[in-house]
Structure 1
């Protein structure tokens, strides 16, 4: 089938690939600085009386540009995919309006398609990647599917959902001519997913890739960002501090900081009710200035530069043993040197859960480590040395391959979409 679109709607980034003639090519998407295939999964809202309804919006790098120009007069939302399977998320309050997940999704999708210069008009078949395990506590896959269906309704003649690591596997298979048993590890912003596939010889009849087993965990790049945030930033915003309640001193509820560290909720904390509650907490806190800094970060919409600083440090630690962390804004200045060894200690619990998910995928496939011919790592988080060691320790460096960290899933999904039995891949 021609006129196929593979869509990797990611927690952090979104990528489109167009499939036809048995091939797959990435779609260049317009941005303020030029075109590129990676489009940030973000939205920005601001008041504009010239727009119907009085509320304008942009997506991707355009959203970031609008936010950076007018941070205090806009609302910036990123990583909203992380609440797709959350029953506790009902609506996001943005100024005077409320948006369901599917409303945010359609606004984002409309802007994405408009910036794709007609390449994503009305495909005959749309293959949408989905995680093996959704992010969040007690995720509800049926709810996520319902929300995805509403988000993508009418976009294509046929819509199929395929596990993201299977898309990466199909992309990787296009590099191989010989048969192989492959472990695909896909590390995104919100989830880490693992699939074992059997890749057949090129040109042989029947499906090129046969899934053998899969598993996932709702932990990935965003959680590792949180570990840095928790150690470097949150103590200066009051975490671990005390407040007065009648004649007692109690620890400030940690729920405040769990919300603050989550992109899907941080942008929504700038509302009168939450700020009023924080004002009362500041008056009761032993260190009221720390809560004041937290309020300033929320009121001045400093979430993006704060997380950007965290992300820069995390990425720097992928290639250096130490890296600087610096953030300044809202009356808060933090400067620190971070050792890779310390960072690896902070994420040890998360790494253990990723390793357990790899074990589950291997068990589901009935494959022993020595039967895995190759390991394909994809996703930005796969570049972190401690994450890579999960696989080098088990399989040896010689069997590890990587590439297309941000684009392999979309590329493979567009290839799958051209198969006559593409529905067999649907999750």
Structure 2
């Protein structure tokens, strides 16, 4: 059917696709000077402005990055906010003293996404197929809470909403390229979660081309790999492992500040009076106050985005090189390090073992052995990490591995799924 929008609202990037009514779908290409094709960064930048909503103006996507870079000290840059969708511990974020719930940020984000679509979304679709992870990120995630928040986020559209596991979207997209029957495993490596789906694909023209068998997932993915780099290269320079004096005792500096700093979704919110006052008191009592001073300076001067940009560059470089230079310079702070790929792989080794266990759980749920998988489709940005590719090569053999459309296949497949006569089979 036409009038179907497939939306992959991702932790790092968001991609949208429209069904064409003839069995195909096309990606929404965003328009404007800052546009980056079909990829819309899942980020929002806020700044104080009288004409803005509640006295605060905002931008989203690559335009949010541009606004932040233009005036970092007068703005708040929020990225990866999807990771708090299922968290009951997150109620609201205070931005310039104003409370923002998850659904508030989500609505503002979607508002800008539509505005930058160059009129392609001015005619509201009849049906929106929204991708969701199999398992949400965070500790003790609540899927029902996430669904409630997503519903509120999209309520301005006033159309049918259907939720489909993200890897099923990628599976449907990949199946549209196959010319013979196959049992496929899709592994989707996003920013916040890694998800798997097993789908049986019939020959082209069959009444039921795709049949989903099972899905599984885990809240570990690209952001967790970034966190490992920050933990090993950055946090030791910011006081992690250090001590402070309290009532005549020498105690280890609490880890909560470092946990927040290493998490994109929380780092942006550390620049508030309460947290900064606590850090200044900690600096005063620290055995070595200089590292805590560096953390304060990075937070006060809004250096989170350039710092994590440097982390991302290192991670991408290690996907093609055996070693790469990590370099960050900002606010008179420089961090340099020559990182070997083997070091990075050691840092994420436990994460990879848990990802592999989640994959095995999916195969078990489907009642399918590794030998019965004809094709493995890897998607998502972190699928390009050599250690991840090696995991699947060992388990399935390199001749069964396929890649492509790492950032766009989910949205494309979701739009195609929207044309299914019986959506109940696909919805989560």
**TM score, norm. by length of structure 2:** 0.98
Equivalences for 1:89-104 in 2 at 5 Å? Answer: 89-104=90-105
**Matched residue, 1:161:** 163
Inter-partner Cα distance in structure 1 for 2:373 and 2:424: 27
State the 4+ residue runs in structure 1 displaced beyond 4 angstroms.
none
Is residue 2:262 matched to residue 1:261? yes
For structure 2, the residue ranges without an aligned partner over 5 or more in a row are none
Please give the per-residue CA displacement for 1:97-116, whole angstroms capped at 9, x wherever unaligned.
11000000000000001111
**Is the alpha carbon distance of 1:50 and 1:101 closer, same or farther for their aligned partners in structure 2, counting shifts above 3 Å?**
closer
Inter-partner Cα distance in structure 2 for 1:172 and 1:334: 42
1:91–1:100: 8 Å Cα contact kept in structure 2?
yes
Inter-partner Cα distance in structure 1 for 2:256 and 2:115: 39
Inter-partner Cα distance in structure 1 for 2:425 and 2:356: 28
Equivalences for 1:17-416 in 2 at 5 Å? Answer: 17-20=17-20, 21-34=22-35, 36-51=37-52, 53-121=54-122, 122-206=124-208, 208-416=209-417
Inter-partner Cα distance in structure 1 for 2:79 and 2:312: 14
For structure 1, the residue ranges without an aligned partner over 5 or more in a row are none
Q: Secondary structure at the match of 1:30?
A: coil
Over the aligned positions, Cα root-mean-square deviation in angstroms equals: 1.0
Please give the per-residue CA displacement for 1:352-384, whole angstroms capped at 9, x wherever unaligned.
110110110010001111100000000000000
- Residue 52 of structure 1 and its aligned partner are, at CA, apart by 5.3
**Is the alpha carbon distance of 1:252 and 1:52 closer, same or farther for their aligned partners in structure 2, counting shifts above 3 Å?**
closer
Q: Secondary structure at the match of 2:2?
A: coil
Q: Secondary structure at the match of 1:223?
A: helix
Please give the per-residue CA displacement for 1:92-137, whole angstroms capped at 9, x wherever unaligned.
1100211000000000000001111222231011000000000001
Q: Secondary structure at the match of 1:44?
A: strand
Inter-partner Cα distance in structure 2 for 1:212 and 1:87: 31
- Residue 146 of structure 1 and its aligned partner are, at CA, apart by 0.4
- Residue 311 of structure 1 and its aligned partner are, at CA, apart by 0.3
**Matched residue, 1:15:** 15
2:52–2:58: 8 Å Cα contact kept in structure 1?
no
Q: Secondary structure at the match of 1:111?
A: helix
2:380–2:406: 8 Å Cα contact kept in structure 1?
yes
**Is the alpha carbon distance of 1:46 and 1:112 closer, same or farther for their aligned partners in structure 2, counting shifts above 3 Å?**
same
- Residue 205 of structure 1 and its aligned partner are, at CA, apart by 1.0
Q: Secondary structure at the match of 2:109?
A: helix
- Residue 50 of structure 1 and its aligned partner are, at CA, apart by 4.0
* Aligned residue pair count: 426
Inter-partner Cα distance in structure 2 for 1:31 and 1:83: 30
1:167–1:409: 8 Å Cα contact kept in structure 2?
yes
Inter-partner Cα distance in structure 2 for 1:84 and 1:197: 27
2:78–2:265: 8 Å Cα contact kept in structure 1?
yes
2:34–2:63: 8 Å Cα contact kept in structure 1?
no
